Every structure is written in structure tokens, then in C-alpha cells.
Amino acid sequence: MKTQRLLFLSNMILIVGIVMLGTTDLQAQEDEKDVPYVPTPKPVVEKMLDLADVKSGDYVIDLGSGDGRIVIQSARRGADGHGIEIDPSKIREARANAQRAGVDDQVRFLEQDLFKSDISRASVVTLYLLPSINLKLRSILMEQLEPGSRVVSHRFDMKNWKPDRQITIENKKDEPGFLFDRTTEFTVYKKNHEVYYWVIPADVQGSWSWEADGHQFELAVNQKFQVVQLNLSRDGESIQVDKANLHGKRLRFQAETRQTDYLFNGRVEGNTIEGMLQIRDGNKSTVKTWDAYRD
């Protein structure tokens, strides 16, 4: 019994040592922008594509595409796209997988540095990288992608850029959670998979003005990603704003005075917002066009 206890303790010390070594290696890899390859389980791939509503007409770019499974499954849904991967052996594998799946005419796999790649064509970007890589990519996503484009990340978020949606998928015992060390292939199993979803928001920061319902409106917008704080005035007097929401290019908010309620619903295009304004005055309701301009 004593021998068995000693053997058990020795094994535990060895496992802890492997984990600590793996964690150190992981940090070194992260610092070198070398992301250890761990495939996203196929059920998680499906949930990621469901969350982004990938369909025909979409162009999907997978950053760190590995064996190509996300881009290939997107193509099966009717989308086009390409994967970006730094490992040439994985690119060869992905191309062969695409050919076997019969979608090689819809997808490509490029050997590129994901930080230097042009992703502006994407309507959907998918990620399974590392926390620090996600943060470094955040500004690239914001700068290159059109407002309304969707971003989906497996496992890791983007810190203070809060997701528009987040789902949890229960992990199965035979699915790897995260690979710490390539040499030992020691795998830590996690309880579940987190999937994060964002919509690239339009830039609405600044001062806007317009005329409507015989009044002059002024709107000051303070923006942090998709979260907006609005200060609205009508003819120089501040009025209350409720239910402000920015989703891609769509800006929607309500405002009310003692006599009148306003519902603004517009689409942002550069320095212009165009949409519809619903005005409720007592029992009377009218709908008019709404055009706002950034000063």
C-alpha cells in the first residue's frame, strides 16, 4: 500500500511538471506569435457557423485555418472563402480535404502571416487562436472589415470588446480542450467550449444634426465599440434618450418629451445616417424619412 501511494505521488508530480512545462512553452509560443494547433471539434464548428448565420453569398476567412475544416464546412453551406495558415503542411492537408469534400472550387488556403493579410473581403471571420493574438488582431478587424461583418471566436474573447452574443457548448471526454506541449502531446481537457460572436460596429462617434418635425436636433455620441451613449437636444433643450442600440450599420434609439415620442431608426453610411422616424403625439402617429449629418 505504501509503495502504491509513493507511485501515485510520483505520477502526480510528473503530471504537474508537464503542465508547468507546457504552460511555459505556451507562453513562449504566444510571444513568438506561434499558435499551437488544436482543431476545433466539428460540433463546435457547426455552432460557430450557426451563430454567424453563414450562408450562400458570404465570404468566410478563417485565421489560423489548420486542416481547413471551418472554411470547408462554410463552403458546404454555400459560402466562399479562404483560410490563412503559416504551416505549409497544414495548407497541403487543407487543400486535400477541400478536394475530397468537393468544394475546392469555392475555397483557397494561403500561406501568410495573419497580421499582414488582407481580410477586408470577409463578411465573416473565424478564430481559434490565443488571448493575446485576439487582442492584437482586434484593431485589424475594426480597420479592415466593413461594419456589419461578423466575427466568431472559439474559446477566447477580446477583453473589453464585449461580445454581442456568447454561447457555451458542453465538451465531450474525447475532445481536446487545449494542447499545452507539442512534444509530449499532453492535453488538458476542459469542461466546455465558449464561443464568442461580434458584429463590427459602424463609427458613429461625434456630433450629428438634423431637422425633423419642425425642430432642430443635435446629437452627441460617445462610442466604445458597439456600446453608445447618446445626448440629444431639440431646439437647444436636452431630451431623454432610451433604448440606444448600434448593430453594425444600424443605429436605433427612442427619445421623448412631455408631448411627443420619437423612434429613430437609421443606417450609418460614413458621415450620414438615413432611415425612418416615427413620431407619436398623443393618439396620432406619423412616419417620416430621417437624415442626419455628422458635423
What is the reported pTM? 0.83
Which of 16-25, 79-88, 181-190 tops mean pLDDT?
79-88
Residues listed for the chain: 295
pLDDT at 172: 67
How do residues 50-103 score in pLDDT, each as one tens digit?
A: 999 999 999 999 999 999 999 999 999 999 999 999 999 999 999 999 999 999
pLDDT at 13: 42
Q: Are 110 and 122 in contact (CB under 8 A)?
A: no
Q: Are 154 and 203 in contact (CB under 8 A)?
A: no
Cell of 6: 509513493
Higher per-residue pLDDT: 202 or 17: 202
* pLDDT mean over 5-10: 44
Q: Domains in the chain, please, with CATH?
A: 13-199 (3.40.50.150), 206-294 (2.40.128)
Q: What share of the chain is helix, strand, coil (3-state, %, to 5)?
A: 25, 40, 35
pLDDT at 174: 53
